[in-house]
Chains A and B, each alone.
Chain A
Amino acid sequence: MHLNVASVCKSFGYGPKAKQVLDSVSFDLHSGQFMALVGSSGSGKSTVMRLIAGLERPSSGEIRLDGQRIRGPGADRGMVFQKYSLYPWLTAAQNVAFGMRLQGRPKAEVRERTAYFLEVVGLVDSARLLPRELSGGMQQRVAIARSLAAEPKVLLLDEPFGALDLQIRESMQEFLHRLWLQTGLTALLITHDLEEALLLAQEVHIMAPRPGRIVRSVRADLDRSSLAHLRVSQPFLALREELASCLRGLDSNLTA
């Protein structure tokens, strides 16, 4: 799998009211990679993701998945939103099965894979509960399971833990990390949270707003055998501080 984003620009609106939101964004994402986009609010992170998902079209530049130009949304690019994306009338299990049923897979296969992915996200006991009966963290795990069950080549995560409180967030980060190790998924994670990005992703792009662009890309080849240790390890903290000051620099440019 190879996702190639090449010099993508995006403007919303026409004529004098046109607003450039992305300016020449480029990067590559390969099979098994975990990549993160970090940036302040309004730096165009979600727009990048929506372009890859095919929910928007680039104004110029192009996005290719395995050489094929992206023309619209499809099951090869799964997406998890920050919130409100479970179908409230379906149980957790039915939500997980939803994509597979849309794809018209055989019933037996759907049942089997639903059970498997509920197991993967640790929600076997909650299979029959409706979304409103699940906590925020459980809901997001169902959403992730639903995306994975549809077998996307790449998983797009738009601040999936943004609405969760700190403790749940940390356990969800552990969860996502284990999931990545276990399933070998390819993921693009959007987050405000630098620590989250560095914990999970081997490659982090920092985005600046007005117009949205990538100003810094780092490889974070850290020892991820234990996230708890990683959080307080020297190389991690050093890298985090470096990138944090980069982000602060962007902010002070804005206010100056």
Chain B
Amino acid sequence: MRSSEADPLKRWSSLRRFLAQPWVLGLIGVATVVLIWLLTTASGAVDKLFLPSPQAVWHAGQSQWQSGVLLKDAVASIQRVFIGFALSAGLALPVGIAMGTNPTICRLLEPLMALIRYMPAPAFIPLLIIYFGLEELPKILLIFIGTFFFNTLMIMDAVKFVPSELVETALTLGGRGLPILTRVVAPFIAPQVLDTYRINMASAWNLVIVAELVAATEGLGKRISLAQRFLRTDDIFVGLIVIGLVGLTIDLGFRFLMRKACAWAN
């Protein structure tokens, strides 16, 4: 009697422990969607042209990979994102710190930035094309415009939240301007800065695709818009999935960096 009662209980608790693993439920979620996708296409209820089967998408991906376009497109997009975002992140750091530490600079720039921040970056595309043509520069600038103001304002906020005790303690220990910046402010805001970059990287990734949809010779976004012209929904799916995977990888990279570099903050 006892054992028959204890057994399912034990099994139930080990199941619970299994589900508590951080990635298990997430994988179940993804698998469920893929399964539904598989069943829907297998049942033939939906036209293949609208919803290609997972197998068809896999094959499309394989052939894109073998011909080399997939890698070329991915590299082109990733390169744009990295250059544009590196410029944005690199400039936002000093400007954000300056705004966070100096009230005059803050009052001067904050209204301007708050205003531009609400102008949707894709709306700048026509201007950028007029000014800079169809080369790399307008795409990189688009990413810059779309992330710089968010990066700056979020870094400014992080700086403003540095507890005054930490700065004042350093002052009474003989600290002065620059050393306080590098030894107190910088380490304190590092976790928030990394998180800011992680979050805004997502919009950089969105913007590069938008830019490529409008005008590009290569890139993941370009591939999608070409595929649309030829009704190649399987290629569109490949593009979407690759974009998602690359974005997720970058996100995980930032999280990893944060765990390594800012262990004290967890």
Shortest A50–chain B CB gap in Å is: 8
- Interface set, chain A 76-129, CB cutoff 8 A to B: 77-79, 81, 83-85, 87-89, 98-99, 101-103
Contact B173 A55 (CB under 8 A): no
Shortest A32–chain B CB gap in Å is: 20
Shortest A148–chain B CB gap in Å is: 11
A146 at the interface (CB under 8 A from B): yes
Contact B169 A89 (CB under 8 A): no
Quick check: which of B96-104, B148-156, B180-188, B236-244 contacts chain A, the rest being far away? B180-188
CA–CA, A131 to B170, complex, Å? 16
CA–CA, A84 to B265, complex, Å? 14
- Interface set, chain A 40-88, CB cutoff 8 A to B: 53-55, 72-75, 77-79, 81, 83-85, 87-88
Contact A73 B171 (CB under 8 A): yes
CA–CA, A54 to B5, complex, Å? 72
- B residues lining the A interface (CB < 8 Å): 163, 165-166, 168-175, 179, 183-184, 187-188, 262, 264-265
Contact B188 A89 (CB under 8 A): yes
Contact A89 B187 (CB under 8 A): yes
CB neighbours (8 Å) of A81 from chain B are 165, 168-169
Looking at chain B's contact residues, the main secondary structure is: helix
Shortest B261–chain A CB gap in Å is: 10
Contact B173 A75 (CB under 8 A): yes
CB neighbours (8 Å) of A87 from chain B are 166, 184, 187-188
Interface centre among A53, A101, A102, A132 (most CB of B within 10 A): A102
Instruction: Please pick, from B166, B170, B179, B264, the residue contacting A130 in the complex, using a CB distance under 8 A.
Output: B264
Which B-chain residue is minimally distant from A99 (CB atoms)? Answer: B173
A140 at the interface (CB under 8 A from B): no
Contact B163 A84 (CB under 8 A): yes
CA–CA, A207 to B264, complex, Å? 40
- A residues lining the B interface (CB < 8 Å): 53-55, 72-75, 77-79, 81, 83-85, 87-89, 98-99, 101-103, 130, 132, 143, 146-147, 150, 152, 156
Instruction: Please pick, from B166, B174, B187, B265, the residue contacting A85 in the complex, using a CB distance under 8 A.
Output: B166
Contact B170 A79 (CB under 8 A): no
CA–CA, A72 to B184, complex, Å? 19
Shortest B163–chain A CB gap in Å is: 5
Name 5 interchain pairs, CB-CB below 8 A, sorted by A. Answer: A53-B171, A55-B168, A81-B168, A98-B173, A103-B173
Contact A79 B179 (CB under 8 A): no
CA–CA, A87 to B170, complex, Å? 10
Shortest A102–chain B CB gap in Å is: 5
Looking at chain A's contact residues, the main secondary structure is: loop
Contact B179 A74 (CB under 8 A): no
A-B contact count (CB 8 A): 72
Contact B172 A53 (CB under 8 A): yes
Known contacts A78-B173, A102-B173, A146-B173; can you find 20 more A-B pairs with CB under 8 A? A53-B172, A54-B171, A55-B171, A55-B172, A73-B171, A73-B172, A78-B172, A79-B169, A81-B165, A85-B165, A85-B169, A87-B188, A88-B188, A89-B262, A89-B265, A101-B183, A103-B174, A146-B169, A147-B173, A150-B173
Which B-chain residue is minimally distant from A149 (CB atoms)? Answer: B173
Contact A75 B187 (CB under 8 A): no
Shortest B192–chain A CB gap in Å is: 13
Instruction: Please pick, from A73, A132, A150, the residue contacting B168 in the complex, using a CB distance under 8 A.
Output: A73
- Give the 9 A-B CB pairs with smallest separation, nearest first: A75-B174, A99-B173, A73-B171, A79-B172, A89-B264, A85-B165, A102-B175, A81-B165, A85-B169
With A81-B165, A102-B179, A102-B183: A88-B264 Cβ-Cβ less than 8 Å:
yes
Shortest A12–chain B CB gap in Å is: 15
Interface centre among A55, A73, A152, A156 (most CB of B within 10 A): A73
Interface centre among A87, A150, A152, A156 (most CB of B within 10 A): A87
CA–CA, A121 to B23, complex, Å? 45
Shortest A130–chain B CB gap in Å is: 6
Contact A74 B172 (CB under 8 A): yes
Contact B187 A99 (CB under 8 A): no
CB neighbours (8 Å) of A143 from chain B are 169
Interface centre among B163, B165, B183, B265 (most CB of A within 10 A): B165
CB neighbours (8 Å) of A84 from chain B are 163, 165-166
CA–CA, A105 to B168, complex, Å? 20
With A89-B264, A130-B264: A99-B166 Cβ-Cβ less than 8 Å:
no
CB neighbours (8 Å) of B169 from chain A are 79, 81, 85, 143, 146
With A84-B163, A87-B166: A102-B174 Cβ-Cβ less than 8 Å:
yes
Shortest A165–chain B CB gap in Å is: 21
CA–CA, A201 to B171, complex, Å? 26
Shortest A126–chain B CB gap in Å is: 15
